[in-house]
Structures are given as C-alpha cells and as structure tokens.
C-alpha cells in the first residue's frame, strides 16, 4: 500500500508541473482507442482486453492530471492521487472500479497461472466506458478555481 507522502518523495512519483491541454487531449484520445481495443479483444485475448480496459480508465484519468498540471509515473500513486484529490470528480465506486481493473491487469500480465474471475472482467469492461465518459465530462468542467484548490491541497499534504 502506497501513501501520498511516499508518492511525493519518489523520483517518478507525484510532481506539480505546468498544465498541458494538448497532452490532456492526447490522453483522452489514447483512452478512447483503448476502449476500442478492449471491445475488439474481449472475445479473442482476455489478457489484452483486461489491459486495454485498465488503460482506457488510466489514460482518461491521466488526462485530468495533465489538465491540472500533475505528473506521476507510478500507477499506484496516480490512483492514490485520484482518491485523495479528485473525489469531487470521481465517486467511491469509480475509485473501486479502476483499482479492480489495475489489480486484474497485474494478475493477467504477470501471473499467467492465476485464474481470473470472468465476473470481475465483465464488471470492469462494462464500467470502463462509463469511467471514460465521466473523465471526459470532468475534463470539460474543471476550471482554474478547481485547479487552484487541488494544488493548495497538494501543498498541505507534501
């Protein structure tokens, strides 16, 4: 289990950077492409479908981080950031579903001998487009005041 304090201290952990709308839009496009891959691969390659499912959510979340001006290359820290600082945009259920997708992706990619529950796979693949849509909607709503509030919260947590 990672902590925010740990994430702020890591070389590739949570860093405040310049906001970047172009990168933000690129990540949204990547997320959209990942949903297409997920849908195509569901019937053929479950490992790729699970991975694409997770990345569709992760990229759409990362688009918001780019909009705010946050860089983080440690996925568990990105999810920790989401839980602590983006709860005005994402629900507890959204946090649970991306974490479930994260864990399933790790299992599918690194533990070939483990059985993956089809019910869990169905749940994340059904919810991935909803998560993507919520991220897109949040991206269009986020404003300078929101960004300032989030950055102030970050300063008080470092």
**Per-residue pLDDT reduced to its tens digit, 70-105:** 999 999 999 999 999 999 999 999 999 999 999 999
- pLDDT tens for each residue of 29-44: 999 999 999 999 999 9
Assigned domain for 158 exists:
no
CB 72 within 8 A of CB 7: yes
What is the model's pLDDT at position 63?
98
Task: Find the domain containing 131 and state its range.
Answer: 4-146
Assigned domain for 104 exists:
yes
- Mean pLDDT within 151-156: 89
Assigned domain for 154 exists:
no
Residue 39 sits in a domain whose CATH number is 1.20.120.330
Please state the domain count of the chain.
1
Between these two residues, 6 and 155, which has the higher pLDDT value?
Answer: 6
Assigned domain for 155 exists:
no
Total-model pTM? 0.95
Q: Where does residue 79 rank: exposed (0-12), middle (13-18), buried (19+ CB within 10 A)?
A: buried
List % helix, strand, coil for the chain (3-state, nearest 5): 75, 5, 25
Assigned domain for 152 exists:
no
Read off the tokens for 105: 């992706």
Assigned domain for 138 exists:
yes
Read off the tokens for 143: 């404003």
Assigned domain for 153 exists:
no
Assigned domain for 151 exists:
no
């Amino acid at each position: 289990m990672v902590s925010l304090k740990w994430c702020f201290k890591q070389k590739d952990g949570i860093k405040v950077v310049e906001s970047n709308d172009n990168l933000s839009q690129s990540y949204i496009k990547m997320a959209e492409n990942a949903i297409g891959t997920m849908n195509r691969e569901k019937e053929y390659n479950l490992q790729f479908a699970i991975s694409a499912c997770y990345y569709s959510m992760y990229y759409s979340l990362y688009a918001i981080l780019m909009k705010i001006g946050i860089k983080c290359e440690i996925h568990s820290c990105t999810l920790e950031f989401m839980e602590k600082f983006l709860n005005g945009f994402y629900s507890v259920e959204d946090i649970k579903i991306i974490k479930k997708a994260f864990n399933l992706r790790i299992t599918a990619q690194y533990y070939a001998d483990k059985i993956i529950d089809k019910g869990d796979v169905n749940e994340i693949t059904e919810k991935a487009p909803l998560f993507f849509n919520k991220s897109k909607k949040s991206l269009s709503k986020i404003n300078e005041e929101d960004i300032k509030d989030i950055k102030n919260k970050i300063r008080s947590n470092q």
